[in-house]
Amino acid sequence: MKIRYNFIFIPLLIICAIAVWYIGFRKETQVAAKRLADRSLLDASEMDIIEITRGDETIRFEKTGLSDREVDIWLIVNPYEADTNPDSMAGIVDAILAVESEKDIAGVTDVQRAEYGLAEPYTRIRLMSSSGSILMDLSIGMENISSTARYAMFTDKPSNAFLIPVYQIWPFEITADDLRDARALVFDTEVLTAIQISSVQGEINLVNDDGTWMIRGPERFAASPARLALFFDHIKRLEAVEFLPENANDPELDKKSTQVTFEAVDGTRSILTLHDEDYQRGIFASSSSQPTPFIVEAYIYDRLALDPAIFFHVQLFDFPPDEIERLYVREPGSSNLEIQRLDGVHGRWEILKPEDRAGTFNDGFQAFIDSLYDLTPEYRINPPERMGAYGIEPVYYLKVEVFRGEEMEKVEFKLGSRDSNGNFYATQDGLSYFTIAGELVDRFVSAVAILKGIDQ
């Protein structure tokens, strides 16, 4: 029977001894630790709220999740609501975790706390969990005599003070603007359905038509993907160089020069407004992504005071030549050209019209296709004021119809007469008009003539 009791009692005794040792060791480690995070037994993963008070201003940050880079996302919720710069905010968190004590002062009295500036501390750092429990509450007071450190204490342990080197406190001498996301406008291009750009040069409206951005208005034409991507890049890289208070009354804010509005699938809008310019400070601006006005560098004016012409799509065909199945060149007063790709033969074509040239040829086809793809618009022009002004309606100079793929999707354009510079007027849809360089058209016409047997 004794053996049985000893079998139970001895292990319990060992466990109790280990627990007493661990608690004592942890207390010793806690007291001896130089890092304040270790002294307060701080678990950084539980830190969801940070409050930094300096004087009368309190900055409050709340963690909202993880970014694509697996970096914590923090939101400023006081003195205003705004996103933070992830890198700058990560630096603040690291600085908090790295703070160390330099010298401990035990048995601090009320008089000493007043002398140390801890009775009414100018700086206070509070760390909390999302449930509201306080993980660390640190008060920071005055500098010591040598100005190399400042007095500090945990607010819940007022009788124990310590010194913190001043260089470890400098990161907390900040304002909310120092950690604010400086991007002028935050948006996701993948969910945009419409764009409106209003400037001194006019208004541009673009609509996302099943993945293709189109200029919307009296003229409707495809926007250049490359130019639109550059436009998005300019906006995404635009950052505030100076933040203004919410109640800013600078006279530059009274004027509006350019406004960009992005509309998303869910109906929400992201708006950037550029106001007047101070030639020494920059352009005054406001946006839906920033809670207060701000200033950006003046270079953006050259990139946002826009004209619809800069979005003009400079490519008649946005698919490779290998996808062409059939092609027609219609020429009033002369025989038409019709060719089609030979089934299963890469790079081989046959001529269907003119009929007296029926057969399979390889010479001249590649030059013809190359000259076709060289026909890129040079300048966008206004629609004709009267029929026949550009030599396209009612009778065109050339009409080119390209059929693509198994579904025979058609892309066509018409060429008209020459302008005063020797270039040809053209249109792709009867809504947008442009010119094509004369030498490119002449090269294409020569390639057509070779296949038609006119110029051998």
Query: Chain centroid to CA 431: how far?
Result: 33
pLDDT band at 67 (very low <50, low <70, confident <90, very high): low
SS3 416: strand
Which residues lie closer than 8 Å to 51 by C-beta, 6 or more apart?
Answer: 58, 59, 60, 61, 124, 125, 126, 127, 128
Which of 331, 271, 276 lies closest to 452, judged by CA? Answer: 331
Which of 443, 454, 452 lies closest to 367, judged by CA? Answer: 443
Which of 338, 345, 320 lies closest to 401, judged by CA? Answer: 338
Question: Which of the pair, 77 or 200, is modelled with greater confidence?
Answer: 77
Which residues lie closer than 8 Å to 48 by C-beta, 6 or more apart?
Answer: 62, 63, 128, 129, 130
pLDDT band at 20 (very low <50, low <70, confident <90, very high): very low
- C-alpha distances out from residue 46 to 49, 89, 330, Å: 9, 16, 74
Alpha helices by DSSP H, 374-421: none
Q: What is the pLDDT of residues 394-445, one digit of tens each?
A: 889 999 999 988 888 888 999 999 999 999 999 987 767 889 999 999 999 9
Fold of 321-452: Immunoglobulin-like (2.60.40)
Least confident of 55-64, 355-364, 433-442, 444-453: 355-364
Q: Cα separation of 269 and 288, whole Å?
A: 8
Q: What average pLDDT does this structure show over 230-243? A: 90
Q: What average pLDDT does this structure show over 331-360? A: 80
- pLDDT at position 429 is 72
List the strands of the sheet with 192-199, edge to edge.
Answer: 221-222, 212-215, 202-209, 192-199, 258-264, 269-278, 282-287, 294-296, 242-243
Tell me the one-letter amino acid at 429: D
Residue 357, pLDDT above cutoff 60: yes
Q: What average pLDDT does this structure show over 218-233? A: 77
Q: What average pLDDT does the chain have?
A: 85
* Residue 288, both tokens: 């839906």
- pLDDT at position 3 is 47
pLDDT band at 348 (very low <50, low <70, confident <90, very high): confident
Residue 32, pLDDT above cutoff 70: no
pLDDT band at 143 (very low <50, low <70, confident <90, very high): very high
The answer to whether the beta carbons of residues 311 and 215 sit under 8 Å apart is yes
- C-alpha distances out from residue 173 to 98, 121, 126, Å: 16, 14, 15
Residue 216, pLDDT above cutoff 90: no
Q: Cα separation of 36 and 442, whole Å?
A: 80
Tell me the one-letter amino acid at 268: T
The answer to whether the beta carbons of residues 324 and 402 sit under 8 Å apart is yes
Helices and strands per DSSP (H, E), number in the chain: 9, 27
The answer to whether the beta carbons of residues 54 and 76 sit under 8 Å apart is no
Q: What is the pLDDT of residues 262-311, one digit of tens each?
A: 999 999 999 999 999 998 899 999 999 999 999 998 777 666 656 666 67
Q: What is the pLDDT of residues 361-393, one digit of tens each?
A: 566 888 899 999 999 888 778 888 888 899 998
Give all strands (DSSP E) within 334-441, no chain letters.
337-341, 349-353, 359-361, 379-381, 398-404, 409-418, 424-427, 433-436
Cα-Cα-Cα-Cα dihedral of 109, 111, 113, 115, to 10°?
Answer: -140
Q: Cα separation of 311 and 296, whole Å?
A: 24
Percentage above 70 pLDDT, the chain: 85
Q: Residue 206: which H helix or E strand, with range?
A: strand 202-209
Q: Cα separation of 276 and 220, whole Å?
A: 32
- pLDDT at position 27 is 41
